[in-house]
């Protein structure tokens, strides 16, 4: 009994099978090497920390310094502890009401006169 003639698809599949196996292994190794190099670079830079967003990744936080002088103006965001200790008031609104806008406080000095 004669063998059925091979179709073009069968011939192409047989020829390409070995080539695809070799190239897929090489591609996989190359991608793994690239990922490993990128991760090492990010860890060295300190960008690989979990929980940081893309916008915060390049920004460094300003180092915390102890406040020694504070001005009760509109831009003030929080009241330092030494001002709370001097005045007994916890909110900026209460401090401005008692001492006036732009009242200056310095650590180690008495509180300014109330208005």
List pLDDT tens digits, range 42-94: 888 886 555 555 555 556 777 878 889 999 887 888 899 999 999 999 999 99
- Report d(CA 69, CA 84) in Å as an integer: 13
pLDDT exceeds cutoff 60 at 1: no
Q: Residue 109's closest CA among 76, 93, 87, 88?
A: 87
Task: Report pTM.
Answer: 0.45
């Amino acid at each position: 009994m004669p063998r059925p003639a091979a179709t073009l698809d069968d011939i192409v599949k047989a020829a390409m099978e070995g080539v695809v196996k070799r190239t897929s292994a090489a591609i996989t190794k190359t991608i793994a090497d690239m990922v490993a190099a990128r991760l090492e670079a990010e860890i060295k830079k300190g960008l690989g920390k979990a929980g940081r967003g893309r916008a915060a990744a390049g920004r460094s936080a300003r180092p915390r310094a102890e406040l020694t002088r504070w001005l009760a103006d509109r831009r003030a965001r929080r009241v330092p502890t030494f001002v709370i200790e001097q005045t007994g008031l916890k909110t900026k609104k209460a401090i401005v009401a008692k001492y006036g806008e732009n009242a200056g406080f310095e650590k180690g000095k008495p509180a300014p006169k109330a208005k």
